[in-house]
Amino acid sequence: MGKLVLYGVEPSPPVRACKLTLAALGLQYEYKLVKLLDGEHRSAEYVRKNPQHTVPMLEDDGHYIWDSHAIMAYLVRRYAKDDSLYPKDFFKRALVDQRLHFESGVVFQGCLRNIAVPVFYKNESEVPRAKINAIYEAYGFLEAFIGDQSYLCGETITLADFSIVSTISSLVELAPIDPAKNPKLKTWLARMSQLPYYDQANGYGAQMLIDTFKEKIKKII
């Protein structure tokens, strides 16, 4: 096994999704903080490793992988003792992939990033109500995905749970989960938060992002 290095920042949901995966697999790794505000991700060295200059980025024995979903799947395929987190069965894997794409396109890009970019990079202090409504629409879909299951893809935890919890846990202050409307989602989030490595891998970073939102957002219009 080569030396694993994860590059990232704590508030980033995709970084936290990778940290959850590393923790679940019991893998030792070095964590390197990337100072985004100082432009470290745009340095010649970083761009050489990752032309998209994003976080997270995983370094493994001289190889570089970015995009949280790619990193998580790679870690399971290379290091997991079994395939429970990312099943080899075609249908079960398709379910996980669907949830991962939903997280990427709808929950992260369509909900969180759609709010974060104007707030953090354009100093906007007001969030349109339509953007909050988009979060609640995503909650509704997740409620249906969970159904009568314990997790998003069945009775065992998968990469889909790690990916989606990293973003959903960052949105709950902006759009609180109503236990009357989304009881299964509320129960799932509570179940995920009981993982022994949850706080260190995800909880603290999610709170950092929530606190930043609370500091910068003055009202929802």
Structural domains present in the chain: 4-79 (3.40.30.10), 90-220 (1.20.1050.10)
**pTM attached to this predicted model:** 0.96
Task: Please tell me the number of Cα atoms within 13 Å of 213 on its side-chain side.
Answer: 23
Reported as a single tens digit per residue, the pLDDT across 157-176 is 999 999 999 999 999 999 99
Of the residues 12, 163, 166, 169, which is catalytic?
12
First to last CA, the chain: 51
Reported as a single tens digit per residue, the pLDDT across 111-126 is 999 999 999 989 999 9
12 catalytic, yes or no? yes
Tokens of 189: 């989030």
Nearest to 3 by CA among 54, 59, 80: 59
- In this model, does residue 2 exceed pLDDT 90? no
| Confidence bin at 38 (pLDDT 50/70/90) | confident
Tokens of 149: 């299951």
- In this model, does residue 20 exceed pLDDT 70? yes
- In this model, does residue 1 exceed pLDDT 70? no
Reported as a single tens digit per residue, the pLDDT across 52-80 is 999 999 999 999 999 999 999 999 999 99
Q: What is the pLDDT of residue 36?
A: 81
| Residue 24: how many other CB atoms lie within 10 Å | 21
